[in-house]
Amino acid sequence: MGRLDKSIRIVIALTIGVLFWQNMIYDALAYTLLTVAAVFLLTSLISFCPLYALFKMNTCEVK
């Protein structure tokens, strides 16, 4: 997973977290988006996305 991909995932996860914290999203949508945010954060921290492996995608600049 490339640096830009990681950065975008972290920004999206943090944005979802702030929206939840500010009560701008709630109910089922909030918990669905929080799950997505957790997955984005986890995959960016471990630098591996299972969907990328499934579709044989690679966003890493270094080969």
pTM of the model: 0.86
Contact 52, 59 (CB under 8 A): yes
Number of domains in the chain: 1
Residue 59 lies in a domain: no
Does residue 38 form part of some domain? yes
pLDDT tens, position by position, 33-59: 999 999 999 999 998 988 888 988 888
Angle at which helices 27-46 and 3-21 pack, to 10 degrees? 150
In a domain, residue 47? The reply is yes
Task: Note the residue count of the chain.
Answer: 63
* Residue 46 included in any domain: yes
- Confirm whether 63 is domain-assigned: no
> 31-38 long-range CB contacts below 8 Å, 24 or more apart?
37/12, 37/13, 38/13
Domain span holding position 30: 3-54
